[in-house]
């Protein structure tokens, strides 16, 4: 698999605080990589490092195979665009002028493609309206348009839907999917709104206390979170034998608890267990979403 970003034991220490503590992650090419973690887990610190805004204390990363210590990293960064926390736009210019400035910063020979970009983010008809008079959603979209100048292959979005209204969230989701599917842009997106993230991400990286605690694909997550029946019995060894006979998919949690996938015939199961002298203590429907999966992974409690 091709990776656009690979980090290797990345560390960032501020006096006694460890923002990143040996973070290792891999972002596959063409993916929408959901970067999930609490406040202060180290998401923005990592994004800042990748963008060259901050420097690692230890460890390294590779962007398109180029190490962060390599001289070529500056040129390689031209392949990426980023919106970190707040969109980086010039408030006293209109949307078009903002993009023209970014084209100038990048040294593009002309302003071709600006209309297409404005159309893509839905800001074509804003005319002379200054960016400072834009709504939050419009500013976010302009920030993305600025990041998309120069046709990057990698787009880094840090909390892009924070503060957006429901329509703004839908627009942002559609824009991200469009960029990924039509323009084949790899997207790293950090968000607290896990339900929203689960609608678009193809890969996930769960970060806690400056480390990646788990990296997985959306399929793997779906497998982990799929709907099941949680059954509490006196002996899961017997249960496993019965379920094998019934050709049902299951997962043993411990000596008394197991998850059964699919839709088993409860009467048949109960009778079979009765024959094997195994009692059913309780049965409940178990449905884990990204949120509960995340909590089970990093534990609940305060992030302070």
Q: Give the interface size with other proteins as a residue count (CB under 8 A).
A: 36
- CA neighbours closer than 13 Å in the CB half-sphere of residue 47: 27
Please state, in angstroms and rounded to a whole number, the distance separating the CA atoms of residues 160 and 81.
Answer: 13
Please state, in angstroms and rounded to a whole number, the distance separating the CA atoms of residues 224 and 71.
Answer: 42
- The secondary structure of the chain, three-state, reads CCEEEEEEEEEEEECCEEEEEEEEEEEECCCEEEEEECCCCCHHHHHHHHCCCCCCCEEEEEECCEECCCCCHHHHHHHEEEECCCCCCCCCCEHHHHHHHHHHHHCCCCCCCHHHHHHHCCCHHHCCCEHHHCCHHHHHHHHHHHHHCCCCCEEEEECCCCCCCHHHHHHHHHHHHHHHHHCCCEEEEECCCHHHHCCCCCEEEEEECCEEEEEEEHHHHHHHHCCEEEEEECCHHHHHHHHHHCCCCEEECCCCEEEEECCCCHHHHHHHHHHCCCCEEEEEEECCCHHHHHHHHHCCCCCC
Cβ distance to other proteins smaller for residue 150 or 256: 150
Residue 58 touches other proteins, criterion: CB under 8 A: no
Residue 210 touches other proteins, criterion: CB under 8 A: no
Cβ distance to other proteins smaller for residue 36 or 148: 148
Please, what is the minimum distance in Å from the beta carbon of residue 107 to other proteins? 4
Stretch that binds other proteins, among 67-75, 168-176, 205-213, 219-227 (CB under 8 A): 67-75
Cβ distance to other proteins smaller for residue 24 or 54: 54
Please, what is the minimum distance in Å from the beta carbon of residue 137 to other proteins? 18
Which member of 37, 81, 137, 160 binds other proteins (CB under 8 A)?
81
Residue 101 touches other proteins, criterion: CB under 8 A: yes
| Site map (CB under 8 A) of other proteins, residues 243-282, x = contact | ----------------------------------------
Cβ distance to other proteins smaller for residue 72 or 184: 72
Residue ranges in 24-53 that form contacts with other proteins under rule CB under 8 A? 48, 51-53
Which member of 58, 65, 106, 262 binds other proteins (CB under 8 A)?
106
Residue ranges in 214-243 that form contacts with other proteins under rule CB under 8 A? none
Residue 89 touches other proteins, criterion: CB under 8 A: yes
Please, what is the minimum distance in Å from the beta carbon of residue 135 to other proteins? 17
Residue 59 touches other proteins, criterion: CB under 8 A: no
Residues forming the site for other proteins (CB under 8 A): 48, 51-55, 73-78, 80-82, 84-93, 97, 101-102, 104-107, 146-147, 149-150
């Amino acid at each position: 698999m091709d990776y656009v970003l690979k980090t290797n034991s990345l560390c960032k220490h501020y006096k006694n605080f460890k923002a990143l503590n040996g973070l290792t992650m891999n972002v596959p090419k063409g993916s929408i990589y959901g970067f999930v973690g609490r406040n202060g887990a180290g998401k923005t610190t990592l994004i800042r490092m990748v963008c060259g805004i901050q420097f690692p204390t230890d460890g390294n990363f590779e962007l398109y195979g180029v190490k962060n210590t390599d001289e070529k990293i500056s040129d390689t960064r031209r392949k990426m665009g980023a919106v970190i926390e707040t969109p980086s736009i010039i408030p006293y210019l209109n949307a078009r002028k903002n993009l023209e400035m970014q084209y100038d910063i990048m040294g593009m020979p002309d302003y071709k493609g600006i209309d297409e970009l404005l159309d893509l983010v839905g800001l074509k008809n804003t005319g002379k309206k200054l960016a400072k008079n834009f709504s939050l959603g419009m500013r976010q979209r302009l920030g993305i348009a600025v990041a998309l100048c120069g046709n990057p292959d990698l787009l880094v979005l840090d909390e892009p839907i924070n503060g957006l209204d429901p329509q703004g969230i839908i627009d942002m989701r559609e824009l991200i999917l469009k960029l990924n599917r039509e323009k084949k842009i790899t997207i790293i997106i950090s968000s607290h709104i896990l339900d929203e993230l689960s609608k678009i991400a193809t890969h996930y990286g769960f970060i806690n206390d400056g480390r990646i605690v788990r990296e997985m694909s959306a399929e793997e997550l779906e497998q982990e979170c799929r709907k099941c029946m949680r059954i509490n019995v006196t002996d899961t060894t017997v249960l496993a034998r019965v379920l094998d006979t019934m050709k049902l998919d299951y997962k043993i949690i411990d000596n008394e608890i197991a998850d059964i996938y699919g839709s088993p015939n409860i009467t048949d199961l109960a009778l079979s267990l009765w024959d094997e002298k195994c009692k059913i203590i309780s049965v409940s429907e178990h449905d884990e979403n990204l949120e509960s999966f995340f909590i089970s992974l990093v534990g609940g409690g305060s992030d302070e």
